[in-house]
Each structure stands twice: as structure tokens, then as C-alpha cells.
């Protein structure tokens, strides 16, 4: 039994699919064709095509008309790409002064071109970070991901003081807005009020009071 480190040279699109499937799986068992398609901005038929190829390569298990799941090999490849992505994001902000709303797109391209050596050197240069600038945990070199159970901000009871842990990294405009409000990982906030029927939520951030919609609050993860 060999644990041969086969490096089958995945293409950039393949890495993108695996990453997306991994993230969709995290939020509910299997990933659907249409979900994958809309996340990647691609036609559903294109996904069916790629799904065949990924299954042939042993990276996913596919049950026709039922959805898709990563195999062990697929999960490892996905985590490798996610590690690259997040280390690049962290490096760009810490070492090159990138604003946090612009690192995602850059990392999206670099993650497919950077060697393992580069990723390791970047990580070392900024002190082996454990999360990216948006608070997402960075998988280790051997593919372990430390996912903490977090609450969304819209579910926090009124009066509680919580610590912002993580926000979505995809929407640049949203990130710019959150930065303006001072809502970023590490920041403590207190929930002052929550209007019913998915109404706005009032927060104390530092010594200021801010009010955000329930939709936005749902994309902010907090912990104790």
C-alpha cells in the first residue's frame, strides 16, 4: 500500500470546481449542479461536463441527478487550493498593504500559479497566520481545517456582546461597507436591538452605534 504523492497537475478550472464543491458541501451534504454553475458563473451544462471529468479522475463521487460529493483525493485537492487562496490573501494585506476588499480577485488568479514553496515562504514571512483577512481559517499543509462552530450575527440575542470572527470575502462592496462601519474580525460588538420580521439590527461597535440589515447580519459570523 503506497501513499504515493501523485501530483496529477490539476488545471485551474478543476481547482475552481473542487473549491466550490467543497464550500457548497459545507453548507449541506451534497453540491447541486445548478448551485455549482451559478457560483462559478457558468452554464449548468458545463458543470455536467466537468463533473464527468472530475469523477473520471476520482476527485468526486457523482450520483446521476442526485448531486456530487468530494472523494478523499478531491477534498485534499480542494483544501490545498483553499490554503493557497487564504495564505495569498493574508500575505497581500499584511506584506503588501492591499485593502481587504481587493485581495480576493487577486488570490483567485494567483492560487493556480503559485508553487508550494512560494506559499510556504509567504506564510513564513507573515508569521504563519491561521486565518485570512476575512477571518476564514487556513487549512494546514496536510489538509486539516479547523472550522469553529460560529453563530451568524442575526441570531445573537439582544444584549449579548460577541466577537466578530468572520465575514464573506467575495463581495468587495460589502467588505468596503463593513470596513466603514468598523465591523471586522477581532472586533467586539454588542447587540443593542433587533427588529422583528428580519428587521434591522442595532449594534454598538466601539463607542458608536450602527444599524445593519438582517441580510448583511446573516453574513457576519461571530463567537464569544
Partner DNA sequence: GCCATAAGTTAGTGGAAGCTAACTTTCTAT
Partner DNA sequence: ATAGAAAGTTAGCTTCCACTAACTTATGGC
Q: Please give the residue ranges that form the binding site for DNA (CB under 7 A).
A: 11-14, 32-35, 40-53, 62, 64-67
Q: Are 44 and 38 in contact (CB under 8 A)?
A: no
Describe the chain by its helix, strand, coil percentages, rounded to 5.
45, 20, 40
CB distance 220 to 167 below 8 Å: yes
204 burial level (CB within 10 Å; 0-12, 13-18, 19+): middle
CB nearer to a copy of itself: pick between 23 and 106: 106
Q: How far is the CB of 93 from a copy of itself (least distance, A)?
A: 11
216 interface partner picked from a copy of itself, DNA, none, CB below 5 to 8 A per type: none
Using an 8 Å Cβ cutoff, are 221 and 213 in contact?
no
CB of 36 to DNA, least distance (A): 8
| CB of 43 or CB of 125, closer to DNA | 43
CB 83 within 8 A of CB 138: yes
**CB 9 → DNA: shortest distance, Å?**
10
Closer CB to a copy of itself, 52 or 121, in the complex: 121
In contact, 181 and 205? CB cutoff 8 Å: yes
Report the alpha-carbon distance of residue 133 to residue 52 in Å, rounded: 35
* Binding partner of residue 49 among a copy of itself, DNA, none, CB cut-off 5 to 8 Å per kind: DNA
Could you tell me the smallest distance in angstroms from the CB atom of residue 166 to a copy of itself? 25
Q: Which does 46 bind (CB under 5 to 8 A by kind): DNA, a copy of itself, none?
A: DNA
Interacting partner of 34 out of DNA, a copy of itself, none (Cβ under 5 to 8 A depending on kind):
DNA
Amino acid at each position: 500500500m503506497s501513499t504515493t504523492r501523485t501530483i496529477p497537475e490539476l488545471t485551474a478550472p478543476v481547482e475552481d470546481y473542487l473549491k466550490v464543491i467543497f464550500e457548497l458541501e459545507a453548507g449541506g451534504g451534497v453540491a447541486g449542479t445548478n448551485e455549482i454553475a451559478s457560483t462559478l458563473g457558468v452554464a449548468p451544462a458545463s458543470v455536467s461536463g466537468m463533473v464527468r471529468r472530475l469523477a473520471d479522475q476520482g476527485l468526486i463521487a457523482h450520483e446521476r441527478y442526485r448531486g456530487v460529493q468530494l472523494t478523499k483525493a478531491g477534498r485534499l485537492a480542494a483544501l490545498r487550493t483553499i490554503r493557497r487562496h487564504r495564505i495569498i490573501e493574508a500575505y497581500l494585506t499584511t506584506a503588501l498593504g492591499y485593502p481587504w476588499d481587493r485581495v480576493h480577485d487577486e488570490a483567485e488568479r494567483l492560487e493556480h500559479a503559485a508553487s508550494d514553496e512560494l506559499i510556504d515562504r509567504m506564510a513564513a514571512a507573515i508569521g504563519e497566520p491561521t486565518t485570512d483577512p476575512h477571518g476564514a481559517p487556513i487549512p494546514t499543509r496536510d489538509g486539516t481545517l479547523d472550522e469553529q462552530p460560529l453563530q451568524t450575527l442575526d441570531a445573537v440575542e439582544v444584549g449579548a456582546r460577541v466577537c466578530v470572527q468572520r465575514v464573506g470575502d467575495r463581495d468587495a462592496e460589502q467588505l468596503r461597507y463593513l470596513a466603514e462601519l468598523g465591523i471586522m474580525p477581532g472586533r467586539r460588538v454588542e447587540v443593542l436591538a433587533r427588529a422583528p420580521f428580519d428587521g434591522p439590527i442595532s449594534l454598538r461597535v466601539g463607542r458608536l452605534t450602527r444599524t445593519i440589515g438582517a441580510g448583511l447580519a446573516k453574513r457576519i459570523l461571530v463567537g464569544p
